[in-house]
Amino acid sequence: MTDAAELKRMRWAARRGMLELDLVLAPFVDQRFAELSAEDQARFRQLMECEDQELFAWFLGRERPQDAELATIVDQILAFARTPR
């Protein structure tokens, strides 16, 4: 289970300064991060260390992460973003 402090850190990390990224990442953190496995939470933390331009290209589908671990979490975030809520 994710503690409140970790969730708060991830909410802060998901605020990227690009509206397009914020609209994808913030809802994912709010609605899914706490439910992720420890491995996927680690992947998300690793993803938050990437540059905004990389994230933007990945979430628009222009590129894919070369790192398989990052590709796994990007795919999960994209699937979540495409699911009607």
- At the fourth CATH level, the homologous superfamily of domain 4-82 is Flavinator of succinate dehydrogenase (1.10.150.250)
- Structure-token match 């070369």, residue found: 66
Residue 1's pLDDT band, with cuts at 50, 70 and 90, is low
Q: pLDDT tens digits for 14-29?
A: 999 899 999 999 999 9
Spatial distance between the Cα atoms of 2 and 11, rounded to a whole number of angstroms = 13
Give the tokens for residue 41: 């939470």
pTM: 0.93
